[in-house]
Chains A and B, each alone.
Chain A
Amino acid sequence: METLAKIKQQIESNSIILYMKGTPEQPQCGFSEQAVRLLMACGKKFAFINILENPDIRQQLPQYANWPTFPQLYVKGELIGGCDIMTELYQQGELQQILDQIETQSD
Chain B
Amino acid sequence: MSEIINRLALIEQKLQAVFSPTELEVKDDSYLHIGHEGAKQGGGHYTVRIVSVSFMGKSLLERHRMIYKALAELMLKDIHALKIFAYPA
Contact = CB atoms under 8 A, between A and B. Distances in A.
Interface of A: 21, 28-31, 66-69, 79-85, 88-89
A79 B61 contact: yes
B65 interface: yes
B64 A84 contact: yes
Contacts, number: 34
Contact of B85 (A28, A67, A68, A84): A84
Given A68-B75, A79-B61, A84 B84 contact: yes
A50 to B, nearest CB: 13
Please provide the 9 A-B residue pairs with the shortest distance between their CB atoms, ordered closest to farther.
A68-B75, A85-B60, A68-B68, A84-B84, A81-B61, A84-B83, A81-B60, A88-B60, A66-B65
